[in-house]
Amino acid sequence: MKTWLDLPADDLFGVDNLPYGVFRAPGQEPRVGVRIGDRVLDASRAAEGTPFAQAWAYPSLNAFLAADPETWRAARAWLITAFADESRRAEIEPHLLDLAEVELILPIEVGDYVDFYASEAHATNVGSIFRPDADALTPNWKHLPIGYHGRSGTVVVSGTEIARPVGQRKAPSDPAPVFGPSVRLDIEAELGFVVGGRTELGSRVGVAAAEDHLFGVALFNDWSARDIQAWEYVPLGPFLGKSFASSISPWVTPLEALRYARVPLPAQEPEPLDYLRGEGLFGLDLRLEVRINDTVVSRPPYAEMYWSPAQMLAHLTVNGASIRPGDLFASGTISGGRPGERGSLLELAWNGTEPIELGGGETRSFLADGDTVTITGWAPGPDGARIGLGEVSGTILPAR
């Protein structure tokens, strides 16, 4: 779609994208912003008088997430018109700020955060590495989207520095656990789904209704200390190996902006139980790119994910668990079937046996202090356009 802004035709943040975030202009309270090109619309001020302006005046997206899908659609339609219609220019332009002049903060107050494990290639790789004597996929894997709760209080915005975590680890050859900084610090390139709306305890969100609660997506890096995780995770799952930090993009792309990226799911065999089946299930053709410092180390294809977002949300609530605006669930590591498509260093360097090259003679099996990891991504838009996902980046500091 055309806009009165002077944007290149291939801009990743054109008028067909319009992701939401929360910005702080110098000396002002944070509030909701909408990205276009390299600018941020001060949304609540630009939209004064509309039914959604008030929800945009808060320092997180949560008030807007508490609204209904009709409101989300009306708000997006208003924004598209505001940028597409030349006659609105004089009214809108004064509310555009340069991205470089504002601080982007955590876009949501995270309610509950659940991490899934929805990539068959990833689960197969991890199973092969950690449990070489057993089947790579556990018997439940193709029957339900495996997930677990993570720490919502340590979800941080892109750019936050990540101190190398400290904790217990024990290699099989160690006689007793040892304590110290993690020596197997890893990334997990994931997609986060931001949940809107609210349900009551005891009710469920079926696959057909899931779209009403899937507000949007954001790139997500679930930092993982593999050595801490390996020692702690039996029998109750990952805890300190994950809870030190997870980074999220400041920009939440509405699901509506990804309608050209919908693709069929991979075949699901065996057929899942009824509550995980439905006509409209879709995957998303998102192309990710993972960089460590200046080197692209992987290009994970989201389209290969086994479970759809609607299936994940339906499963999450099938037991009657309620949802709140600001809940967040992540896809789990996105790995494609080919080696250059793996979303973690554990897989890329195959548990340290095949270190990857970063150029300049540097190699990595896991992250080194000072490394900066950046995940970017895009999706097909209308007429050959690309819808950019906001990047998520973080630099590793030495252990404190």
The stretch near a second copy (CB under 8 A) out of 11-19, 153-161, 379-387, 388-396 is 153-161
Instruction: Say what the alpha-carbon torsion angle 12, 15, 21, 25 is, to the nearest 10 degrees.
Output: 100
Nearer to a second copy, 176 or 267 (CB): 176
Nearer to a second copy, 9 or 234 (CB): 234
CA 264 to chain centre: 20
267 interacts with a second copy by CB under 8 A: no
Nearer to a second copy, 160 or 295 (CB): 160
236 interacts with a second copy by CB under 8 A: yes
228 interacts with a second copy by CB under 8 A: yes
84 interacts with a second copy by CB under 8 A: no
171 interacts with a second copy by CB under 8 A: no
- For residue 21, give the nearest of 110, 95, 102, 107 by alpha carbon: 107
Q: How far is the CB of 370 from a second copy (least distance, A)?
A: 16
248 interacts with a second copy by CB under 8 A: no
Pick the binder of a second copy from 160, 268, 295, 372 (CB under 8 A): 160
Give the H or E element holding residue 189: strand 189-195
Q: How far is the CB of 12 from a second copy (least distance, A)?
A: 30
**Secondary structure letter of residue 228 according to DSSP:** H
Nearer to a second copy, 270 or 359 (CB): 270
Q: Is 186 annotated as a binding residue?
A: no
Q: Is 117 annotated as a binding residue?
A: yes
Q: Is 142 annotated as a binding residue?
A: no
313 interacts with a second copy by CB under 8 A: no
Contact 355, 92 (CB under 8 A): no
Q: Is 306 annotated as a binding residue?
A: no
**How would you classify the pairing of strands 356-359 and 362-364?**
antiparallel
Give the H or E element holding residue 324: none
203 interacts with a second copy by CB under 8 A: yes
Rule CB under 8 A: which of 109-128 touch a second copy?
111-112, 114, 117, 127
Q: Is 190 annotated as a binding residue?
A: yes
321 interacts with a second copy by CB under 8 A: yes
State the SS3 of 276-299: HCCCCCCEECCEEEEEECCEEEEC
319 interacts with a second copy by CB under 8 A: yes
395 interacts with a second copy by CB under 8 A: no
- For residue 378, give the nearest of 283, 287, 262 by alpha carbon: 287
Q: Is 333 annotated as a binding residue?
A: yes
- Helix boundaries (H) for the chain: 43-46, 62-65, 69-84, 89-92, 120-130, 226-232, 240-243, 309-317, 345-348
- For residue 187, give the nearest of 392, 383, 373, 363 by alpha carbon: 373
Amino acid identity, position 54: Q
Contact 84, 15 (CB under 8 A): yes
Q: Is 113 annotated as a binding residue?
A: no
Distance CA 137, CA 139 (A): 6
Question: What phi and psi values does residue 341 have, to the nearest 5 degrees?
Answer: -115, 10
Given the residues 122, 149, 213, 315, the one annotated as active site:
122
Q: Is the peptide bond before 235 cis (omega within 30 degrees of 0)?
A: yes
Would residue 143 show up in a list of annotated catalytic residues for this protein? no
Q: Which residues carry a binding-site annotation for Mg(2+)?
A: 222, 242, 246
Q: Which residues are catalytic?
A: 122
Site residues, a second copy (CB under 8 A): 111-112, 114, 117, 127, 130-131, 138-140, 143-144, 146-154, 156, 160, 163, 165-168, 170, 176-177, 179, 201-204, 225, 228, 231-241, 243-245, 270, 273-275, 315-316, 318-324, 327, 397, 400
Q: Which residues carry a binding-site annotation?
A: 115, 117, 131, 188, 190, 222, 229, 233, 242, 246, 333
